[in-house]
Amino acid sequence: MVTIIGCDHIHQRKGQRCFGDERLLAFEADQKGRFNEFISQQQQLRNATLICEEIEHGCDSFAKDLAESRGAIYANIDMPLEERDRRGVPLNYSDDDAPYTPEQIERWHFEREHFMVECVVARQQNVRESTLVICGRLHRNRVAEILRNHGINVEVMDLAECDWFSDAWEDDYPLDFVEGQEK
């Protein structure tokens, strides 16, 4: 069984992203804390012994720490830069200002998603229990479809369905936010 958790990459990175306003810093810490708690609960609930994550290589992430603390196998399933170069997949191809056609962007998403699935399938051979896959919300359903085509049972979750989730911290944080609670 594979459980896919679709998220925004800003939640995955342990490092601080926001600067300046202390309330915004507290909101970021709260969002990341809730994300960390969520993936911890999902790992425990499913007894996941493999945690796969699509995140820029070299990032310090909550999922990696979770795997290490619980004795699970961790795998970064994002396509490494060298492989992207080899396949001709530009680094920021899907940015809003990227000069690529929708067809090119979809083709590169397709390549990356298939790469992610190949990584998951290869690592699942060493796992008896279930697997968590944490990836960008954009990829969650297509990765699930590809895994299902491999005969794997998949459940898909979207962090956006959590009442605490925000993907636009600078816009969403309440002005009266106090760490861990709203006034």
pLDDT higher than 80, residue 82: yes
Q: How far apart are the first and last CA of the chain?
A: 40
- Is there a contact between 84 and 39 (Cβ–Cβ < 8 Å)? no
pLDDT higher than 80, residue 111: yes
What pLDDT sits at residue 10? Answer: 86
**2-11, 58-67, 77-86, 174-183: which range is least confident on average?**
174-183
What pLDDT sits at residue 182? Answer: 47
The pLDDT tens digits of the residues spanning 84-108 come to 999 999 988 988 888 999 999 999 9
The pLDDT tens digits of the residues spanning 11-70 come to 899 987 777 778 788 888 899 999 999 999 999 999 999 999 999 999 999 999 999 999
The pLDDT tens digits of the residues spanning 138-175 come to 999 999 999 999 999 999 999 999 999 887 766 666 54
Greater confidence (80 vs 182) lies with 80
Greater confidence (173 vs 129) lies with 129
Q: Which domains does the chain show, CATH number per domain?
A: 2-168 (3.40.50)
H helices of the chain, where?
9-12, 22-46, 62-70, 81-87, 102-124, 140-149, 169-172
Residue 79 CB contacts under 8 Å (≥ 6 apart), including other chains: 87, 89, 111, 112, 115, 116
What pLDDT sits at residue 22? Answer: 81
The per-residue pLDDT of the chain, averaged, comes to 89
pLDDT higher than 80, residue 137: yes
What pLDDT sits at residue 174? Answer: 57
What pLDDT sits at residue 168? Answer: 74
